[in-house]
Amino acid sequence: MPVLTTSISGWGRYPVQTCELERPERYADLRLDAACLIARGQGRSYGDAALNENGRVLLTGRVNRLLDFDMEQGILRAEAGATLAEILAAIVPQGWFLPVTPGTKFVSLGGCVAADVHGKNHHHDGSFGAHVLALEMILADGSRVTCSPAENGELFWATVGGMGLTGIIGEVTLKLIPIKNSSMMVRHHSAGSLEQLFGLMQDAAIDDRYTVAWIDSMASGSRLGRGVVMCGHHASMQEAPLDSRAKPARARNIPRDFPAWALNPLSIGAFNALYYQREGGKREPFLSDYLPYFYPLDAIANWNRMYGKQGFVQYQCVIPDATAFDGIKALLQELSGSRRPSFLAVLKRLGAQGKGLLSFPMAGYTLALDLPIRDDGLFTLLNKLDEIVLQHGGRVYLAKDARLSAETFRAMYPRYEQWLAIKNKFDPQNRFSSSLSRRLGIGGTHG
């Protein structure tokens, strides 16, 4: 198959590495035909998870066919290169929805499995892998194997969250959830401090199927952690009669890189203050179309260019329930003290840990920060954040990561040894590897 050698990056545009890309168009061409290989769907992981410096990267975007849609049971089987956007376009008009969705619909089905992504409903519904009924894998020895929780279960749970390192995910069978219409019923609650914010998020009377909090990352002192808790659920027929449905926002684009100075503590502080007033002021429940509700940034193509051409790091970690408040507070204090602006700071609740051995979620609170790369000082700050996360028993999300150390990874992912035993069984020569796996020493000494 023809190979295109070129420089690519993840969504954070850091790091940029030279990789050999191949792009199959037929299902039969999904195979391992290089010394080492990693599959890449839409390249929406932030760091180096879908990079393979000087190695092979298999682009799956053209192997994206929807194969079987049972509209009675809500079961969809599709090739792993299909995006959530393509799937939503087919299922929403039929009254079905994704059981779990991340904050962008421009991700591949395979990527959702490999990163075991979560949404705003993890505390109720778990992560993506919990709704996958079966996978078809293309393994290192060239064989095609079906796996599910009941069949080849160990391969299944090593692949869910396994960052593409157990084999190529070829097909995914997913259980969908029923919806009455495409609208969301949303309610906002503002919190003037981190204490209030946690209070609201723990309040069962306020909580909804989807709950997320936006935090003003520039606030400090008594206002540290102020923000807006946003709750929502799929609207019922009574809540959203046909004629009252909200219209989706119009598409925008960031045509070129913003200059490095565009996002600074002053501009972000001003934006955050406005956003806090505007969103926190929406006290009455309101209807929103599902697109702007779940995917606000998808309306702005290439929004990653806002961070300038040096790129950015998204730092996402989870802190277990028992230490969550102290841990998140310590992280926000460290961030606010650094005067490094985070344009986005989002807090979500996570429910019980799933069975994916390298999956990120665990019961607790997850904080996500977007931090532009201005200088190496950022990496010093992130190392400090790692220490805080470790002290509080938490972990960092690999799908967002570009800079964690191998030692910290081992400490954060205690089920790694269990995962490695399965990896060694199905890929003994460690041929499915990526820049991320080599950086973190995942998969042993080969590769």
Partner 1 sequence: MGEAVLILGATSAIARATAAAFAARGAALYLASRDLDELQRIASDLRIRYGVEVHYAAFDAEATETHAAFFQSVLANMPDLSGVVLAFGYLGDQQAARDFKVGAKVIASNFTGAASILSLCADHFEPLQRGFIIGISSVAGDRGRQSNYVYGAAKGALSLYLQGLRNRLYASGVRVITIKPGFVDTAMTYGLPGLFLVASPQDIGERIVRTLGKQADVVYLPWFWRYIMLIIKHVPEPIFKRMKL
* Residues within the interface to partner 1 (CB under 8 A): 2-4, 21-23, 25-28, 62, 65-69, 79, 86, 89-90
Decide whether 71 or 270 has the Cβ nearer to partner 1: 71
Residue 4 Cβ vs partner 1, minimum distance, rounded to whole Å? 4
Decide whether 65 or 278 has the Cβ nearer to partner 1: 65
Query: What do you get for the CA distance between the two ends of the chain, in Å?
Result: 22
Residue in this structure with the two tokens 């977007």, named with its chain if needed: 370
Decide whether 67 or 266 has the Cβ nearer to partner 1: 67
Looking at 176-209, which runs of residues are DSSP E strands? 177-178, 183-191
Q: What are the DSSP calls for 85-114, one per residue?
A: HHHHHHHGGGTEE-SS--S-S-SBHHHHHH
Tokens at residue 418, please? 């269990």
Residue 94 Cβ vs partner 1, minimum distance, rounded to whole Å? 9
Residues 6+ apart with CB under 8 A from 431: 32, 35, 36, 37, 140, 447
Residue 75 Cβ vs partner 1, minimum distance, rounded to whole Å? 12
Decide whether 28 or 204 has the Cβ nearer to partner 1: 28
Residue 342 Cβ vs partner 1, minimum distance, rounded to whole Å? 35
Decide whether 23 or 392 has the Cβ nearer to partner 1: 23
Decide whether 62 or 252 has the Cβ nearer to partner 1: 62
Decide whether 23 or 120 has the Cβ nearer to partner 1: 23
Q: How many CB atoms lie within 10 A of CB 131?
A: 17
Decide whether 4 or 35 has the Cβ nearer to partner 1: 4
Residue 2 Cβ vs partner 1, minimum distance, rounded to whole Å? 4
Residue 434 Cβ vs partner 1, minimum distance, rounded to whole Å? 21
Reduced to 3 states, what is the DSSP secondary structure of residue 145?
Answer: strand
Tokens at residue 170, please? 């070829």
Residue in this structure with the two tokens 């299922």, named with its chain if needed: 91
Peptide bond into 372 cis (omega under 30): no
Residue 131 Cβ vs partner 1, minimum distance, rounded to whole Å? 19
Reduced to 3 states, what is the DSSP secondary structure of residue 89?
Answer: helix
Q: Strand 16-22 relative to strand 56-59: parallel, antiparallel, unpaired?
A: parallel
The torsion angles phi and psi of 158, rounded to 5 degrees, stand at: -85, -25
Looking at 355-446, which runs of residues are DSSP E strands? 364-372, 395-396
Q: How many CB atoms lie within 10 A of CB 284?
A: 6
Residue 372 Cβ vs partner 1, minimum distance, rounded to whole Å? 31
**Closest alpha carbon to 140 in 245, 62, 32:** 32
Distances 178 to 73, 95, 134, 181 between C-alpha atoms, Å:
9, 6, 20, 9
Reduced to 3 states, what is the DSSP secondary structure of residue 410?
Answer: helix
Residue 63 Cβ vs partner 1, minimum distance, rounded to whole Å? 9
Decide whether 27 or 258 has the Cβ nearer to partner 1: 27
